[in-house]
Amino acid sequence: MPSLTELQSWQGLQALADVLQRSSVSSLFAQQNQRFDEFSVSAAGVFLDYSKNRVTREVMGQLFEVAIERGLPEAINAMFSGDQINQSEARSVLHTALRSRSKRLVVNGVDVMTGIREQLAKMAQLVDEVRSGEWRGVTGKPIADVVNIGIGGSDLGPRMVAEALADPAASNPGVQFVSNVDGEHLLQTLAGLDPETTLFIITSKSFTTEETLINATSARRWVRDALGSDVSVRSHFVAVSSNVSAAVEFGIDASNVFQMWDWVGGRYSLWSAAGLAIALACGMEVFSELLAGAADLDEHFCQAPMDQNLPVILALVGIWNRNFQDIESLMIAPYDQRLASLPAYLQQADMESNGKSVDSTGKPVGVKTAPIVWGGAGSNIQHSYMQLLHQGNVSVASDFIVSRQPRTGSTYADHHRLLVANCFAQAQALMQGRSQQQAADELIADGVNPDQAEALAAQQQLPGNQPSNMIMVDNLGPRQLGALLALYEQKIFVQGVIWGVNSFDQWGVALGKTLATTILSTMARQRDGQSAPLAAGEDGSTLGLIRRFRG
Amino acid sequence: MPSLTELQSWQGLQALADVLQRSSVSSLFAQQNQRFDEFSVSAAGVFLDYSKNRVTREVMGQLFEVAIERGLPEAINAMFSGDQINQSEARSVLHTALRSRSKRLVVNGVDVMTGIREQLAKMAQLVDEVRSGEWRGVTGKPIADVVNIGIGGSDLGPRMVAEALADPAASNPGVQFVSNVDGEHLLQTLAGLDPETTLFIITSKSFTTEETLINATSARRWVRDALGSDVSVRSHFVAVSSNVSAAVEFGIDASNVFQMWDWVGGRYSLWSAAGLAIALACGMEVFSELLAGAADLDEHFCQAPMDQNLPVILALVGIWNRNFQDIESLMIAPYDQRLASLPAYLQQADMESNGKSVDSTGKPVGVKTAPIVWGGAGSNIQHSYMQLLHQGNVSVASDFIVSRQPRTGSTYADHHRLLVANCFAQAQALMQGRSQQQAADELIADGVNPDQAEALAAQQQLPGNQPSNMIMVDNLGPRQLGALLALYEQKIFVQGVIWGVNSFDQWGVALGKTLATTILSTMARQRDGQSAPLAAGEDGSTLGLIRRFRG
């Protein structure tokens, strides 16, 4: 099988990129009136306009060719069928089953849908008990606050979705998230809470995640100190973990441990019981709608032809920007305060999945892989870093995300129009830029004298030609958010297939953990007054820092 | 005067970069035991270890040479003296005066220190009145909550500092921040508040910032609807603005308008009355300590020789990474939950200041300028995007930031040790990486059979050689935070001087505002049923989006 860069289609893309190098996106619009109609697509309640990228019909055609030659249709089928596509960990990848409307999905002789339905029913029961006030703390009071203790995938997804969907006026119980091992995070969260009315969810697949365990242990101490017995732990802690015995040993009732499966990666786990905090904050109906929206998108992904296929198109445009336009970073700009944590969520989803330099056979990929993903909520970003995108000398690709309708209703209708206009205007300005002549003309029209205008105009010209996508949903609720998140998940999957990497492992994070253990023991030796010469594998900087930390 | 790239010292750096290309940082440590001592520096309570960058003594020497040839000492003097170094706006740049311990600073015949002292006294009075309960709402109740309405520099700095320094156990009043024009932001903030006990700070230098004005207007409606009179506005709103008459017209008492000066840019304004929310959340003593810490750093910056000068060194290492190592992005990793919003703050500080492609005379800079700044709080990031930094194929420069002592005290001492060990370990892992052979040896030692180990090791090797800085403060309080923020401000200033850009204007943000106005009127025409053909300057995508928005 030829490597990616040996493919004729891939080489054809390079040739097209060379030809297009001198064409701005604006000039492509001038050449072709119908770009918007041709380069936009809608499915599962999500609309994508990708016409402001530096692509042409030929480019898209060639990208679809690459996808076929890299076996994308077969790869999609393999994932949804439960094949062990996570080869380095010998696991299936079945987060899609968590939201599937299928009745049955047999993997290795087991129908995984049965277990999924059981866990959903169990979630529904807990959610009902807590939200109705039936679940009582050890002193007999109903639960007012839920604290999810988890990190990475056990935090970013649930937190982002709960922030986006919880009704600020009606949220009962309040849901908060503690992830950081820094004691400040737990301390600040507990400062406003009452142990009698607080329920903790400990989310860790292995129940050995260091940060989560130390936070859980400190939270347990807080509960015990206030409520005084081991019984209190049973009334104030539940767990989401595949390690039931460890959770039980911690003091949690076995019946309050929700299952995780080895075929759900942490960064794909919000659809499982790891999303319990979402369901507690918003209700089980909302959680079900979230799953339904993701299922809508999955079905579209499996069925739609490539040139109408949202995740495929979004992925291929990303490949074009990364590999043929040499754009290193992807700015995520939700023009929606509810999605303020979406960039942080997508950082993990994208960079942990495809931040790899070897393919799944161990060979160098040979081309750049995942971009640096970053961003923030608009319109805030216009008053912050957007200056650089408009006037710096770095190419950045952007995804703008906006909801046609606000949740806020008529009281804030003027806010919403202004929000949307600013969103469209940023994308437009990034594409169009402004020439020095235009800037000078505008200054002169504003009454600036021609000499000054000439000098200032040089400071006010904008290169433009920055590519962007515009993603619009009709009314950001659980169903459309579910579809939006599944869109990004599948986009990332498609890119992984094109690059040939395993998007579902994360071996790069192991070394830091090992080194941290070594550093902790060096710190302990130093506390004990032992001299600490440079050990094997240690460097002068790390040792110097440890000494300085000791003080 | 020669351009930057014509300087012999600049060309010398390129030659050094070529020579060093094949030397990893680890190999530099092996060659020179004393790297840590040579490449670390401490001042104003801030310690910087920059030894894990790909620099040598020769590189640093040549960088200092560049700084001298670019007139850095003169530029520092010009800024602190109040010269109009913001040439395109014909303004001085005097945020340093806000924290200066000087008795007098005469600029254009006016002693600016007098006005600064007046405003500080006025802030102290308001803070005292509100925190003591003397300030009463219109119904006679003391203030329980403060809401700062502002965007960009009127939001990011005050919010970040208030989050970092407010004592979660004692914060009185609670302080919240509304910036986004999205009505959700105000709605969600107001959901938990009582108009009778809420005080709004409207922060806008011009009092015309669109987002801020619309949020202020909606907040005023919320107050009036509940409390029923214009008197209520006077008791529940103060302003920070240089446009007193507009604030008065809004309904704010002139005596409750705090001054802004044209020589303080928004992104440098937290040291002014724009930091009122900080002082209300933490007390005036804390705010004074913050200023004192920044003054410590400023004094060091003005006095220390270059090779001991923290901001100069941090800036020059950044120049080396950006221009000679071709590293496009800078990851900010505070291992401190209190600094979770620091990356967002530094995005504006750096990218809005130096995201320019022309120099202050209007000529192309000729080299890359500000990096993409992004990041997040550790240890969270290890469970998210750090995979890419360890195992992707992108060079990223990182600043790790950590406090030796926790604020949390002994209850969380084990958390803090683990936090610091993980911080050091990430930086170490980024530098050292892991060879395929090491990975295979470890797998075999763990009992994996040699064939499997060989295959897996390819997936587990890490390239390493990612540069990073480690910034450590003794105990993150207001004084050390002030010094830390001033360090970054001055670093950005130094880089601006080297690149020759005006770090204090932001012309790139204007076009988006203009286009948003046009889009709003197109939307309005469409609502009125008028047909909307492509107008001059409009593109098919923007028009298509507007039509789709209308639905």
pLDDT digits 0-9 by tens, B147-183: 999 999 999 999 999 999 998 877 689 999 999 999 9
Judging contacts by C-beta atoms under 8 Å, the chain A residues touching residue B520 are 417-418, 421
| DSSP-assigned beta bridge partners for residue B473 | B46, B403
Q: Which residue in A388, A412, A505 has the most chain B C-beta atoms within 10 A of its own C-beta, making it the best mutation to test that interface? A: A388
More confident residue, B410 or A435: A435
At a CB cut-off of 8 Å and minimum separation 6, what does A251 contact?
A220, A230, A233, A234, A237
Provide, as residue numbers in chain B, all residues whose Cβ is less than 8 Å from the Cβ of A459. 88, 358, 360, 362, 502, 505, 507
The C-alpha torsion from B38 through B40 and B43 to B46, rounded to 10°, is -170
Mind telling me how many Å the CA of B6 is from chain A's nearest CA? 20
Residue A51 has what DSSP assignment? T
Residue labelled with tokens 């046009």: B518
Query: Is B513 a residue of the active site?
Result: yes
Which residues on B lie below 8 Å from A372 (Cβ)? 328-329, 372, 374, 388, 394, 396
Contact between A203 and A212 (Cβ < 8 Å): yes
Residue A534 confidence class, pLDDT cut points 50, 70, 90 = low
Q: Is A416:A408 a contact under the CB 8 Å cutoff?
A: yes
Return d(Cα A115, Cα A108) in angstroms, integer: 14
Contacts of B278 (CB under 8 A, 6+ apart): B158, B161, B162, B165, B270, B286, B287, B290
A378 touches chain B (CB under 8 A): yes
What residues in B contact A540, CB-CB < 8 Å? 29, 33-36, 51
Flag whether residue A288 sits within 8 Å of chain B, measured between CB atoms.
no
Contacts of B91 in chain A (CB under 8 A): none
User: Cβ distance B146 to B198 under 8 Å?
Assistant: yes
HEC string for B122-186? HHHHHHHHHHHCCCECCCCCECCEEEEECCHHHCHHHHHHHHHHCCCCCCCCEEEEECCCCHHHH
Give SS3 for A551: coil
* ipTM of predicted assembly, 2 dp: 0.97
Is pLDDT at A348 greater than 70 in this prediction?
A: yes
List CB contacts (< 8 A) between B205 and chain A.
none
Q: Which of residues 256-275 of B touch A (CB under 8 A)?
A: 266
> Residue A1: its pLDDT value, please?
79
pLDDT of residue A419: 98
Q: What is the pLDDT of residues A63-80, one digit of tens each?
A: 999 999 999 999 999 999
Residue range A454-473: mean pLDDT, rounded: 95
B551 has pLDDT over 90: no
The three-class DSSP label of residue A234 is: helix
DSSP string computed for B26-70 = HHHHHH-TTHHHHTEEEETTEEEE-TTSS--HHHHHHHHHHHHHT
pLDDT tens-digit readout, A158-191 = 999 999 999 887 768 999 999 999 999 999 999 9
Q: Which residue has the tokens 């440890």?
A: A546
Q: Tell me how far CA of residue A207 lies from CA of A115, A237, A245, A253, B418, in angstroms.
A: 20, 14, 9, 14, 17
Mean pLDDT of the A478-487 span: 98
The answer to whether the beta carbons of residues A218 and A255 sit under 8 Å apart is no
CA distance B203 to B175: 14
The candidate with the shortest Cα–Cα distance to A152, out of A110, A103, A203, A102, is A203
Closest CA to B357 of B502, B211, B186: B502
Amino acid at A397: A
Distance (Å) from the C-alpha of residue B80 to the closest C-alpha of chain A?
Answer: 24
Which of these, B313, B316, B310, B286, lies nearest to B298 by C-alpha position?
B310
Residues B282, B146: Cα–Cα separation, whole Å: 12
Per the listing, tokens 């002068």 go with: A540
**pLDDT of A532 strictly over 70:** no
Q: Kindly report whether the peptide bond that precedes residue B343 is cis, defined as omega within 30 degrees of 0.
A: no
Beta strands in A205-303 (DSSP E): 237-240, 257-258
- Residue B322 in contact with residue B365, Cβ under 8 Å? no
Q: Which of A155, A351, A404 sits opposite B551 (nearest CB)?
A: A404
Whether the predicted pLDDT of A536 surpasses 80: no
Residue B337 neighbours by CB under 8 Å, 6+ apart: A180, A182, A184, A185, A188, B377
Highest mean pLDDT of the ranges A170-184, A522-536, B326-340: B326-340
- Tell me phi and psi for residue A434, to 5 degrees: -150, 130
Residues of B in contact with A427 (CB under 8 A): 541-542
B174 touching A (Cβ < 8 Å): no
Cross-strand bridge partners of residue B176: B147
How far is the C-alpha of A160 from the C-alpha of A486, rounded, in Å? 14
Q: Which of residues 4-33 of A touch B (CB under 8 A)?
A: 26, 29, 33
Q: With contact defined as beta carbons under 8 Å apart, do A70 and A500 qualify?
A: yes
pLDDT of residue B11: 97
Locate the chain B residue with the closest alpha carbon to A403: B549
Q: What is the pLDDT of residues B71-96, one digit of tens each?
A: 999 999 999 999 999 999 999 999 99
- DSSP bridge pairs for A330: A373, A397
pLDDT band at B429 (very low <50, low <70, confident <90, very high): very high
HSE-CB of A263 using CA atoms within 13 angstroms: 22
The DSSP bridge pattern shows strands A372-375 and A329-334 to be parallel
**Residue A512, token pair as written in the block:** 């830091």
Measured CA distances, A155 to A178, A281, B46, B383 (Å)? 8, 14, 32, 10
pLDDT level of residue B525 (50, 70, 90 thresholds): confident
Asked if residue A456 has pLDDT above 60, the reply is yes
- Give the pLDDT band of residue A411 (cuts 50, 70, 90): confident
d(CA A410, CA B183): 10
pLDDT reported for residue B169: 77
Residue B191 corresponds to which tokens in the numbers above? 């959901």
Q: Closest partner residue to B388 among A36, A351, A520, by Cβ?
A: A351
Interface residue B347 vs chain A (CB under 8 A): yes
Q: How far apart are CA B102 and CA B94, in angstroms?
A: 13
Helices (DSSP H) in B253-352: which residue ranges? Answer: 276-282, 284-303, 310-319, 342-347
Strands B106-107, B110-111: pairing is antiparallel
Which distant-in-sequence residues (6+ apart) come within 8 Å of B537 by Cβ?
Answer: A432, B518
State whether residue A334 sits within 8 Å of chain B by CB.
no
Q: Taking Cα atoms as reference points, which of A477, A473, A441, A475 lies closest to residue A460?
A: A441
Q: Where are the alpha helices (DSSP H) in A406-532?
A: 413-432, 436-445, 450-460, 478-499, 510-527
pLDDT of the residue at A477? 96
Chain A residues within an 8 Å CB radius of B512: 382, 386, 390, 422, 425-426, 429
Catalytic residue ranges of A = 352, 383, 513
Residue to test with chain B: of A443, A503, A545, most B Cβ within 10 A = A545
Residue B528 binned pLDDT confidence (cut-offs 50, 70, 90): confident
Distance CA B9, CA A45 (A): 57
State residue B281 phi and psi, 5-degree precision. Answer: -75, -35
Test mutation, B384, B442, B549, chain A, max A CBs within 10 A: B384
Q: Which residue has the tokens 């909606």?
A: B218
* Phi, psi angle pair for B368, to nearest 5°: -65, 145
Residue A399 and residue A331 in contact, taking contact as beta carbons nearer than 8 Å: yes
The rounded distance, in Å, linking the Cα atoms of A517 and A520 is 5
The CA–CA distances, whole Å, from A128 to A164, A281, A292 equal 21, 11, 20
| Interface contact B415-A214, CB threshold 8 A | yes
Q: Is A535 on the interface with B (CB under 8 A)?
A: no
DSSP-derived letter for residue A142 is: B
Structure tokens at A411: 């009281």
> What value does the mean pLDDT of chain A take?
95
Per-residue model confidence (pLDDT) at position B162: 97
Token pair 């949903």 in the structure block, residue: A473
- Contacts A–B by Cβ distance under 8 A: 474
pTM above 0.95, yes or no: yes
Kindly identify which residue of chain B lies nearest to residue A52, measuring between CA atoms: B541
Quick one: which H or E segment has residue A58? helix A57-69
Nearest CA in chain B to A42: B548
Ordered alpha helix ranges (H), A141-182: 156-165
Cis geometry, peptide bond prior to residue B173 (ω within 30 degrees of 0)? yes
Give the nearest partner residue to B429 out of A429, A470, A511, using CB atoms. Answer: A511
User: How many C-alpha atoms does A300 have within 13 Å on its Cβ side?
Assistant: 26
pLDDT in tens, B115-135: 999 999 999 999 999 999 999
Shortest Cα distance from B326 to chain A (angstroms)?
Answer: 12
Distance CA B333, CA B137 (A): 41
pLDDT band at A277 (very low <50, low <70, confident <90, very high): very high
Q: How crowded is residue A420: how many other Cβ atoms within 10 Å of its Cβ?
A: 27
**Residue B171 to residue B283: CA distance in whole angstroms:** 9
Tell me, letter by letter, the H, E, C secondary structure of B175-224. Answer: EEEECCCCHHHHHHHHCCCCHHHEEEEEECCCCCCHHHHHHHHHHHHHHH
What element of type H or E holds A231?
helix A230-236
What is the least distance, in Å, from the CA of A442 to any CA of chain B?
Answer: 11
- Cβ separation of A427 and B344 shorter than 8 Å? no
Pairing type for strands A46-49 and A40-43 reads antiparallel
- Minimal C-alpha gap between B51 and chain A (Å): 7
Active-site position among B289, B352, B416, B491? B352
